[in-house]
Amino acid sequence: MNDTFYSKHFQLDRIGKGIYAAIAKDGGGAVGNAGFVDLGDKIIIFDTFNTQQASEDLKFVAEKITNRPVTWIINSHWHGDHIRGNQTFKDSIIISSQITYSKIRDVHPSRFIKQKNDIQGLKGYILSLKDQLNQTNDPQIQYQINSLNELKDSLPTLELVLPNQTFKNEITFQGTQRCAKLFTLGGGHSFCDAMLYIPDEKVIFMGDLLFVNCHPTFFEESDPVKWSNILIKVGRLEIDVAVPGHGQIGTKEDISKIINYISELTTIAEKSKQNEDKEIPEIYKDWRSPEIYQQNIEQLRALSTN
């Protein structure tokens, strides 16, 4: 990667011919990962980060490296840290599944308004975190403060830009140098999760179906059984590099780790009592975001009792 490019929001890694992963930095405005693929005559960007400051850096470097404008944007799923930078790409075709489009359209307008109307509340929360930081010197709190400051800076000019094209199961993008396949196998992490596969380079962008060395997040909408089944199917593809929604660049082995994680936590959740603190299994002790572990147990308990 050209050493002259620097972003405080993400680290850019070349992971194949014409393929780049943009891995979120702690404390930046990205929060989730993104990336882009140069097909030879067109560019695809996969996900647009949590703030327009981060997505502007992504657009800049993608167009600088490829020397052409961004053609397509993909929103892997509807969560904010993957779509809030859409406004940077108003001149491009923004694609998502129909379900993802509907969720962005239905859920985010009220969220954006609420956040814009409560910037003072956010400032107050950041101040409370600064008090905590003064007492603990915890670097994680500093990262949280920095990231929330990026969010605060984004709000006055933030606008919701919806996908303007939807797909059902899959689309193949054929370029002059390589092709890429956008596909979904339904919902696992979210109501609907899309992935981008570049078969010639054996690279896949997986959004939040994959977390690498950090605890994946289960929500009310998550379906652990479907999530595992999707990962099992994806694991049958020829993959050398797997780009997660969160964490560093992974391999097929990391897909297996999440399958095992879901299985192990489901068993623990079924055997545990409500709000019973369970120790993190040794194998996941060094994974990032350990605070999510207990939340995941509670969420899986709730899902198993429904």
Asked whether residue 140 falls in the same domain as residue 74, the answer is no
Distance of CA 156 to CAs 28, 54, 96, 143, 150, Å? 18, 15, 26, 22, 11
Type of residue at 303: L
Task: Check residue 3 and give its pLDDT.
Answer: 55
**Beta-strand relationship, 19-24 and 34-38:** antiparallel
Phi, psi of 272 (to 5 degrees): -95, 160
Domain membership of residue 304 (yes or no) is no
What token pair was written down for 66? 């490829």
Query: Does residue 202 carry a pLDDT above 70?
Result: yes
- Statement to judge: residues 140 and 226 lie in one domain: no
Q: What is the dihedral of CA 176, 208, 74, 54, to 10 degrees?
A: -100
Give the residue ranges of DSSP H helices in 137-290: 139-154, 224-234, 252-271
**Within this chain, do residues 74 and 135 fall inside the same structural domain, yes or no?**
no
Mean pLDDT along residues 66-75: 97
Lowest mean pLDDT among 36-50, 110-124, 162-176, 266-280: 266-280
Question: What pLDDT sits at residue 165?
Answer: 98
| 193, 214: one domain | yes
Q: Tell whether 181 is covered by a domain.
A: yes
Domain's final residue, options 253, 272, 297: 253
If asked whether residues 124 and 232 sit together in one domain, one would say no
Q: Show which of 155, 184, 214 is a domain's final residue.
A: 155
Q: What letter does residue 160 receive in the DSSP assignment?
A: -
39, part of any domain: yes
1 pLDDT more than 90: no
Which CATH number does the domain housing residue 182 bear?
Answer: 3.60.15.10
Indicate if 135 and 190 belong to the same structural domain: no
| pLDDT of res. 71 | 97
* Claim to verify: residue 76 and residue 41 sit in the same structural domain: yes
Residue 285 lies in a domain: no
Please report whether residue 34 resides in a domain.
Answer: yes
**Model pLDDT, residue 306:** 67
- The reply to whether 212 falls in a domain is yes
- Residues of the domain holding 130: 108-155
If we measure between CA atoms, which residue out of 174, 10, 173, 175 comes closest to residue 81?
Answer: 10
Last residue of a domain, one of 228, 253, 278: 253
| Residue 207 pLDDT greater than 90, yes or no | yes
User: Is-contact 13 62, C-beta < 8 A?
Assistant: no
Maximum distance among all alpha carbons in the chain?
Answer: 57
Whole-number average pLDDT of the chain: 96
Which tokens sit at 19? 């393929």
Identify whether 294 is part of a domain.
no
Asked if the model's pLDDT at residue 93 lies above 80, the reply is yes
Q: What is the mean pLDDT of residues 248-257?
A: 98
How far is 252 from 156, CA to CA, in rounded Å? 41
Residue identified by tokens 């910037």 is: 119
Residues 24 and 69 in one domain: yes
pLDDT of 273: 78
What is the rounded distance in angstroms from the CA atom of residue 118 to the CA atom of residue 256? 41
Q: What is the mean pLDDT of residues 133-139?
A: 94
Do 68 and 116 have their domain in common?
no
> Do residues 74 and 59 share a domain?
yes
Angle of helix 252-271 relative to helix 291-305, nearest 10 degrees, comes to 60
Question: For residues 230 and 186, is the Cβ–Cβ distance under 8 A?
Answer: yes
More confident residue, 304 or 188: 188
For the chain, the domain total comes to 2
Give the integer Cα–Cα distance in Å for 288 and 217.
Answer: 12
Do 217 and 86 lie in one domain? The reply is: yes
> Does the pLDDT value for residue 2 go beyond 60?
no
Q: Is 279 part of a structural domain of the chain?
A: no
Tens digits of residue pLDDT in 17-54: 999 999 999 999 999 999 999 999 999 999 999 999 99
Rounded Cα–Cα distance for residues 30 and 170 (Å): 27
Do 94 and 18 share a structural domain? Answer: yes
Q: Is there a contact between 71 and 78 (Cβ–Cβ < 8 Å)?
A: no
